[in-house]
Amino acid sequence: MEANKIYQDSIFLLANLIKDEKLRVELLNDLELKKQAIELVNDLLILEIDENCTFKDQKWGPIFGKALVNITKEKIKFVKPENKKSDEVLSDTTYLQTYLFNNHKVARDLLTDQSYELTEQFVKDNSKITEEMKEKYLKTAEKVQPEPEVVDKNKEKPNTGQSTGFENFAGAQSAQGNPFMGSVPLHPLQDIRFYPYISKPKYTKWLKLGLGIGLGICAIFYVVISILFKTTFFSINKDLISIENGWNSEFISKWTEYLGKANGLKWTLGNFLGVATNGTSYFYLILIILMMAWIVFSITQPPKTYRQKFLIPGINLIIPGMFLIMMIFNFANPFGFIFGNDVHTEAIQRTFAINIAGVKNSEELNTWIKDNANGVTNLINEMKNYFNLTAMKALIWVFFISIIISGLFIIIVLALNPRMDREKIAKANNEYQTMISEAMQGRKYEIDPSIYEPQEEIDAFLQELKDRKEKHIKKDKDKD
């Protein structure tokens, strides 16, 4: 069903709820009803934010939220639920309709009535509860429920006075979190047996493992190389900056003044390869370590649901892709170095000319470079002899290849990740709505079993979960 239609049905359900004085008072008395009404307001926030839904060019979530606060006289925190889809909002709307139908005997046509003009003033006018209304309806609501008769539970069910005509739908579904005493089965989208995708890639497990290993290697080499960049340094002492080594006398004077009482300047391997080694790089390092550890764990952990056997969530591909780009950006100069680019000269020229000599414009910079060209060349040669660049090249090559492989895995997974089967989802929604409509007329309707996966596959997966859990329990006991 279209998101805007779900949104419109939801706001009219809330409007019809508060329009009825008795139901409005029941929000004070029936905690479950209040809970479901709050949940539906939260659902409106989902549709307004994620789907940009409105009715009459107005957003109704805050309006009905304020109405519930005025009715209950309580502080209510409305929060947009995470990872909730419009189909689940439809289920919440259906649940609330059925709850009112079952427990408060409200006709379905009254709950779905949209024949009147809905305005903000209408909602405001129906957000008040008078003392007369409390006296009239709360007394009715507080009537003692008939005591269930005691019977043999193996022979028949007790008479609780709450028969709804939905007994045939209770069964095992009530054990799956149904808030309405088993009256309404789960929506197919919430059922473990329903697989809403077109394909089932056979090699998802190995793709996850390959991607996890690739990202893990990237993270390890990024950390190792970054630490080497920060901790390996060459000391540029006073004697290296001399006329004999090709430096201009004017710069030597500036150099001596810059050092003061210090013996020299530490030039890290990162500086030599054109990488920033200040506090910002530490921030990137810590962030990437934490995020990559979480991503690798999320990707490689065993599936917790049947759908996860064949699917890698998009967030687990987008975030590592962003971090791979960040790594490439940070290591652009070292990658250029392994391909033969001169990344040393410019870094030394700019640092010495601007920070030490005080050069202020491009003309002065060009003059300084010309006057001190031999000095810069000799200093670079000294550093090349000091740093173990062969080993560093090997590390950077492995890091570069691991990034390429991880990027290829992400592209492959994106290409093979199953796509939503919209026809199947639409059929599931129609089947569910038909089942609800038939049940409200006192008739039984079985959802087409063909929309679900074969039971033997589901049972096999559940057995895997059970075996895995028992294995972990056994390991914990062995440790104790």
State the burial class of residue 477 (Cβ atoms within 10 Å of its Cβ: 0-12, 13-18, 19+): exposed
Altogether, the residues listed in the chain come to a count of 480
Q: Do 409 and 428 fall into the same domain?
A: no
Q: Do 436 and 291 fall into the same domain?
A: no
Residue range of the domain that includes 118: 3-144+178-184
Is residue 357 within 8 Å of 254, Cβ to Cβ? Answer: yes
In a domain, 364, yes or no: yes
Q: Give the per-residue pLDDT at 279.
A: 58
Vertex 207 angle, CA 201 and 212, to 5°: 145
Q: From CA 372, how far away is CA 240, in angstroms rounded?
A: 13
Q: Give the per-residue pLDDT at 311.
A: 87
In a domain, 167, yes or no: no
In a domain, 168, yes or no: no
Amino acid at residue number 211: L
Q: Of 365, 397, 416, which residue constitutes the final position of a domain?
A: 416
Q: From CA 150, how far away is CA 271, in angstroms rounded?
A: 84
Q: Do 411 and 444 fall into the same domain?
A: no
Is residue 155 within 8 Å of 46, Cβ to Cβ? Answer: no
Vertex 13 angle, CA 11 and 14, to 5°: 65
Q: From CA 24, how far away is CA 137, in angstroms rounded?
A: 10
Sign of CA dihedral 223, 226, 231, 232: positive
Q: Which residues of the chain have pLDDT under 70?
A: 1, 139-185, 277-281, 439-442, 478-480
In a domain, 20, yes or no: yes
Give the distance from CA 462 to its chain's centroid. Answer: 25
Q: Total structural domains in the chain?
A: 3
CB under 8 Å, gap of 24 or more: what pairs does 410-415 form? 410/211, 410/317, 410/320, 410/321, 410/324, 412/207, 413/207, 413/211, 413/312, 413/317, 414/317
In a domain, 33, yes or no: yes
Q: Do 341 and 303 fall into the same domain?
A: yes
Q: From CA 220, how far away is CA 296, in angstroms rounded?
A: 12
Q: From CA 249, how far away is CA 116, in angstroms rounded?
A: 91
Q: Do 110 and 213 fall into the same domain?
A: no
Other CB atoms within 10 A of residue 343 CB: 17
Q: Do 12 and 86 fall into the same domain?
A: yes
Instruction: Tell me the H-state helices in 331-454.
Output: 332-338, 345-350, 362-371, 373-386, 389-416, 422-440
Tokens of 218: 């990237």
pTM: 0.58
Q: Do 389 and 449 fall into the same domain?
A: no
Is residue 351 within 8 Å of 312, Cβ to Cβ? Answer: no
Tokens of 464: 């895997």
Q: From CA 304, how far away is CA 298, in angstroms rounded?
A: 11
Sign of CA dihedral 254, 258, 261, 266: negative
Kindly give, in sequence order, each residue whose CB lies less than 8 Å from that of residue 275, ignoring residues fewer than 6 positions away.
229, 281, 330, 331, 333, 334
Q: Do 248 and 388 fall into the same domain?
A: yes
Is residue 37 within 8 Å of 61, Cβ to Cβ? Answer: no
In a domain, 459, yes or no: yes
In a domain, 236, yes or no: yes
Q: Of 154, 184, 214, which residue constitutes the final position of a domain?
A: 184
Q: Of 369, 385, 416, which residue constitutes the final position of a domain?
A: 416
Q: Do 325 and 231 fall into the same domain?
A: yes
Q: Do 447 and 372 fall into the same domain?
A: no
Q: Do 211 and 357 fall into the same domain?
A: yes
Give the distance from CA 290 to its chain's centroid. Answer: 16
State the burial class of residue 147 (Cβ atoms within 10 Å of its Cβ: 0-12, 13-18, 19+): exposed
In a domain, 192, yes or no: no
Q: Do 15 and 79 fall into the same domain?
A: yes
